Amino acid sequence: MNSIADNICAVRKRIAEVAADCGRGEDSVQLLAVSKTRSPDELRDAYAAGQCAFGENYLQEALDKIEALADLDIEWHFIGPIQSNKTRAIAGHFDWVHSVDRAKVARRLSEQRPGGLAPLNICLQVNISAEPSKSGCLPDEVEALAREVATLPNIRLRGLMAIPAASEDPEEQRRPLAAMRELLRQLQQEHPGLDTLSMGMSADMEAAICEGATQVRIGTALFGPRDYGAKTPVGTAT
């Protein structure tokens, strides 16, 4: 198996190639390393290879890693579903939150963002394929949610995030990604500062870049397949 450093290098190269093929600048797409289930040492390897932005889904696991890696200058992104009783810890420890899908969570994140920190960067998660099991607001709810979130003082609305329904077919992959691009374009008329489209995972990264993703969230292609079964939460005595 390739090392994490090799994978990071290969994925960065691929991002630059695809961006160029789609007529976009090489630096227009940021790589977010999705590190759920990965050990602090694996994150250190990625960091040593130049990766500074990491995305985590599970709060306790993330907090343990943030503590274990406090000596590194990591930009932490929260990308998992948010329970409203967990907002304080998220507001205190992350730089970005991609998975805001209701006003209550946004209000709490703003209220609970510690005074000494920069505003928390927020993306609104959209359930673009309208799957009943998925988080995210529906596409026709985004406009009202953005209007409310944009008024909150300690968060900065940056854009939209989606996890489209999985498909192997490139054309099927592109349809919801294109719909996200159009949703962002519409929102930018009222909120010209929005600059972020968080979409694209290991299986649909190319399609997402061609549809305007500015942050791709990549786990498997960097760290290999996840093994949830063998997972021992970091920081737990074994």
Ligand X SMILES: *Cc1c(COP(=O)(O)O)cnc(C)c1O
Residue 184 Cβ vs ligand X, minimum distance, rounded to whole Å:
17
Query: Treating both helix axes as pointing N-terminal to C-terminal, what angle do 170-190 and 142-149 enclose, rounded to 10 degrees?
Result: 50
Tokens of 102: 């209701």
Residue 98 Cβ vs ligand X, minimum distance, rounded to whole Å:
7
Minimum CB distance to ligand X smaller for 71 or for 168 = 168
Q: Which residue is nearest to ligand X (CB)?
A: 219
Q: How many helices (H) and strands (E) does the chain have?
A: 9, 8
Residue 219 Cβ vs ligand X, minimum distance, rounded to whole Å:
3
| CA contacts within 13 A on the Cβ side of 85 | 1
Give, as ranges, the residues between 19 and 38 that touch ligand X (CB under 6 A). Answer: 34, 36
Task: Name the one range near ligand X by CB under 6 A: 45-53, 65-73, 113-121, 195-203.
Answer: 195-203
* Of residues 88, 108, 106, 110, the one with CA closest to residue 98: 106
Residue 141 contacts residue 105 (beta carbons within 8 Å)? no
Q: Which of 63, 108, 217, 234 binds ligand X (CB under 6 A)?
A: 217
Give, as ranges, the residues between 54 and 113 that touch ligand X (CB under 6 A). Answer: 57, 79
Distances (CA, A) of 41 to 14, 203, 224, 234: 25, 25, 15, 11
Residues in the chain: 238
Task: Name the one range near ligand X by CB under 6 A: 45-53, 111-119, 170-178, 218-226.
Answer: 218-226
Minimum CB distance to ligand X smaller for 33 or for 187 = 33
Minimum CB distance to ligand X smaller for 155 or for 218 = 218
Distances (CA, A) of 118 to 215, 216, 221: 20, 23, 31
Instruction: Decide: is 220 part of the binding site for ligand X (CB under 6 A).
Output: yes
Give, as ranges, the residues between 104 and 163 that touch ligand X (CB under 6 A). Answer: 163
The contact set with ligand X (CB under 6 A) reads 34, 36, 57, 79, 163, 201-203, 217-221
